[in-house]
Amino acid sequence: MAKTKWDPVKYNQVADFVAKLGEPLLVLLEPKLSDSILDLGCGDGSLTEKIKPLCQNVLGIDASAEMILAAKAKNINAVVKDAHNLDFNEQFDSVFSNAALHWMTSPNAVLSGIYRALKPQGQFVAEFGGFGNARIIVDALTRCLEREGIAYQNPWYFPTAEAYSDLLVQQGFRVEYIELFDRFTPLPKHLSEWLDTFGQAFFENADIQQKRHIINEVTNLLKPDLFVNGQWYVDYVRLRVKALKS
Ligand code: BEZ
């Protein structure tokens, strides 16, 4: 799996909207004051912080040590852990995840760990990039890389609702709700900063000049579609899901 290095300060400048737009997911989570909750892929803990007063305890996990340090600075109970290798056993009433699962390219390993981590009747509530997510960007980026002869790895998993439902059912979950929807999302900064922060895996084989050139080319190509009234957007598509351990 390609490695993306996270800088919590830069992440906050380029993508603070990720946690804000994840807030409606807390409605689907319906936390109870007696609940133990796992926030999977908690990042810098911005949403974990919102969950904390609504339950008995919440644990944040993330594969990035830098992000876990940032979460701990918010006084959140958080540990570095790769969600492909969860080792929890019937410990949580809910597993929650916002904008993280599309980085995890072996979904069966992740889902079996989530299933095991949940108490009987526990729930899994998540939102992440679904089929067609950032398609305009991925298409332009991969076309430019191919034209330059630069090998790349696409680090993202964007499933359809049908494919993800099947995986959930195979693991033993009952799918209560699943929806794929478009969310054309304004960016706080230039698209080049989004590409630089999130697209690192695509540029692993590019030198700094090639990377600059490709980012420049991609942003020029995408301006007619993604630059609207002086504002850059990303063509996000979200997959939102609630599934129960049966
Ligand atoms: C997303 O939240 O859908 C996303 C963010 C960065 C890269 C890819 C997808």
The confidence score (pLDDT) of residue 19 equals 80
Average pLDDT over all residues of the chain = 95
Residue (of 151, 98, 161) closest to 130 by Cα position: 161
Q: For 122-153, what is each residue's pLDDT tens digit? A: 999 999 999 999 999 999 999 999 999 999 99
pTM above 0.85, yes or no: yes
* Ligand 1 contact via 11 beta carbon (within 6 Å): no
User: Is the predicted pLDDT of residue 2 greater than 70, yes or no?
Assistant: no
Give the contacts of 131 (CB within 8 A, at least 6 positions apart). Answer: 158, 159, 160, 161, 163, 180, 237, 239
Q: For 164-174, what is each residue's pLDDT tens digit? A: 999 999 999 99
Confidence of residue 154 (pLDDT cuts 50, 70, 90): very high
Out of 6, 67, 102, 240, mutate this one to test ligand 1's pocket (max ligand atoms within 8 Å of CB): namely 102
Q: Which two tokens stand for residue 47?
A: 């949403």
Average pLDDT over residues 105-111: 98
Average pLDDT over residues 8-36: 88
User: Is the predicted pLDDT of residue 18 greater than 90, yes or no?
Assistant: no
Going by alpha carbons, the residue nearest to atom 2 of ligand 1 is 99
DSSP 34-54: T-EEEEET-TTSTTHHHHGGG
The confidence score (pLDDT) of residue 1 equals 52
Going by alpha carbons, the residue nearest to atom 4 of ligand 1 is 129
The confidence score (pLDDT) of residue 26 equals 95
Q: Which two tokens stand for residue 41?
A: 């892929």
- Residue with the bigger pLDDT between 3 and 243: it is 243
Residue (of 110, 211, 221) closest to 159 by Cα position: 110
DSSP helix/strand/coil, 1: coil
Find the 81 Cα to ligand 1 centroid distance in Å. Answer: 20
C-beta separation of 161 from 130 below 8 A: yes
Give the contacts of 69 (CB within 8 A, at least 6 positions apart). Answer: 8
Confidence of residue 79 (pLDDT cuts 50, 70, 90): very high
